[in-house]
A and B are shown apart, each in its own frame.
Chain A
Amino acid sequence: MRGLTAIKLLLVEDNPDDVEIAVRALRKSRLINDIRVVRDGEEALSLLFPDGTQDLDPFRPDLILLDLNLPKVSGFDVLDRIKTSDELSSTPVIVLTVSERQEDIARAYQLGANTYITKPVDFDRFTHAIDTLWEYWMVIAKLPLQAA
Chain B
Amino acid sequence: MIAQNLKPAEILLVEDNPDDVDITLRAFHKLRVAYTLHVVRDGQEALDFLFCEGEYSGRAGLPRPDLVLLDLNLPKVDGPEVLAKIRASDGLSTMPVIVLTVSERQEDIQGSYKLGANTYITKPVDFAKFMHAVEVLGEYWIAIAKLPSRAA
Chain A residues at the B interface, C-beta cutoff of 8 Å: 89-92, 100, 102, 105-106, 109-110, 112, 114-118, 125, 128-129, 132-133, 135-137, 139-145
Contact = CB atoms under 8 A, between A and B. Distances in A.
Nearest to A114: B118
B120 A141 contact: yes
Given A90-B113, A140-B136, A142-B121, A117 B93 contact: no
A102 B145 contact: no
Contacts, number: 79
Interface stretch (B36-44, B57-65, B102-110): B102-110
B149 A145 contact: no
B120 A142 contact: yes
Contacts of B139: 132
A84 B116 CA distance: 11
Contact of A144 (B2, B110, B118, B145): B110
Interface in B66-125: 93-94, 96, 104, 106, 109-110, 113-114, 116, 118-122
A106 B136 contact: no
Contacts of B121: 140-142
A102 to B, nearest CB: 5
Given A110-B94, A133-B144, A144-B109, 17 more contacts: A90-B114, A100-B146, A105-B147, A106-B148, A109-B148, A114-B118, A115-B119, A115-B145, A116-B146, A118-B146, A132-B139, A135-B136, A136-B136, A137-B119, A140-B133, A142-B104, A142-B120
B136 A117 contact: no
Contacts of B114: 89-90
Contacts of A100: 146
Interface string B124-152: 00000000110011011101111111000
A132 B136 contact: yes
Nearest to A137: B119
Contact of B119 (A106, A109, A141): A141
A109 B94 CA distance: 5
Nearest to B145: A115
Given A90-B110, A133-B144, A139 B116 contact: no
